[in-house]
Amino acid sequence: QKEVEQDPGPLSVPEGAIVSLNCTYSNSAFQYFMWYRQYSRKGPELLMYTYSSGNKEDGRFTAQVDKSSKYISLFIRDSQPSDSATYLCAMTPAGGGGNKLTFGTGTQLKVEL
């Protein structure tokens, strides 16, 4: 069983839709959670970073963490064609730097006009 599970998609939605992307994890040591966006043949770009259960909002993006269920989500409101990319969840056990990230396999999202 993988430590982090993520539906690979592809997920296709119309422009303006609300997108929900999810990851589950099995290692209860994970405490810090990130979402990265990766365009084709580019490096991952950090979107959201959170360490507490609950919601964190940044513009059209909301990150949600439920540590009791070992489940994290990223919501994208008013999705745009420019949001078409692969979204990777990542997590690490502790803060303070110097910890390797464990990634999901990524969900490919396509937002269509």
Residues of the shown chain interacting with other proteins in the complex, contacts defined by CB under 8 A: 4, 6, 8, 32, 34, 36, 41-46, 49, 88, 90, 92, 95-106
Smaller CB separation from other proteins, 23 or 111: 23
**Min dist. Cβ of residue 103 to other proteins (A):** 4
> Please, are residues 102 and 36 in contact by the beta-carbon 8 Å criterion?
no
**Residues 77, 12, 58: CA angle, nearest 5 degrees:** 20
Smaller CB separation from other proteins, 17 or 70: 70
Smaller CB separation from other proteins, 59 or 98: 98
**Min dist. Cβ of residue 57 to other proteins (A):** 18
